[in-house]
Amino acid sequence: TQALNWYRAAAGLSADELVFTSSLQDLRAQALASDRAVSAARQEAASARAEADRLRAQLRDLQSRLQQQNQQERSIRNELDKARQALLRTPQPVAAVPSSSPRTVVREVVKLVPVADDSQVRALKSELAKQIQEQSRIKQEAELLQQRLAAEASGKSALREQLAQLEQQLTASKDEKQQLTQNDEVIQQARTQQLSQAQQDLQAARQALQQHAELLQTQASAETEQLRQALAGSEARIAELQQTLTTSRDQLVSQADLDVQRANLMRARQQLDATRQQIEQQQRVLARRDDAEVRQLTEQLR
Render pLDDT for 240-268 as a digit per residue (tens, 0 to 9). Answer: 877 877 776 666 555 666 677 778 888 87
Q: Flag whether pLDDT at 111 surpasses 50.
A: no
Are residues 221 and 183 part of one domain?
no
Are residues 244 and 169 part of one domain?
no
> Mind listing the pLDDT tens digit for each residue in 146-163?
777 677 667 666 666 766
Q: Domain ends where: 152, 184, 201?
A: 201
Which one has a higher pLDDT value, 297 or 225?
Answer: 225
Task: Enumerate residues 6+ apart whose C-beta is below 8 A from 132.
Answer: 73
45 with 160: CB under 8 angstroms? yes
Q: Domain ends where: 201, 220, 246?
A: 201
Task: Enumerate residues 6+ apart whose C-beta is below 8 A from 45.
Answer: 156, 159, 160, 163
Q: What integer best gives the mean pLDDT of the chain?
A: 71
Are residues 130 and 194 part of one domain?
yes
Q: Name the domain count of the chain.
A: 2
Segment 61-71 shows an average pLDDT of 77
Q: Domain ends where: 173, 201, 229?
A: 201
Are residues 100 and 51 part of one domain?
yes
Which one has a higher pLDDT value, 83 or 265?
Answer: 265
Are residues 272 and 168 part of one domain?
no
Are residues 53 and 181 part of one domain?
yes
Are residues 175 and 140 part of one domain?
yes
Domain that holds residue 233: 204-301
Are residues 22 and 127 part of one domain?
yes
Are residues 175 and 240 part of one domain?
no
Are residues 35 and 142 part of one domain?
yes
pLDDT of 269 reads: 81
Q: Flag whether pLDDT at 14 surpasses 50.
A: yes
Are residues 181 and 65 part of one domain?
yes
pLDDT of 102 reads: 43
Q: Flag whether pLDDT at 194 surpasses 50.
A: yes
CATH number of the domain bearing residue 193 = 1.10.287
Spatial separation of the C-alpha atoms in residues 12 and 14, rounded to whole Å: 7
Are residues 166 and 231 part of one domain?
no
- How does residue 90 score in pLDDT terms, banded at 50, 70 and 90? low
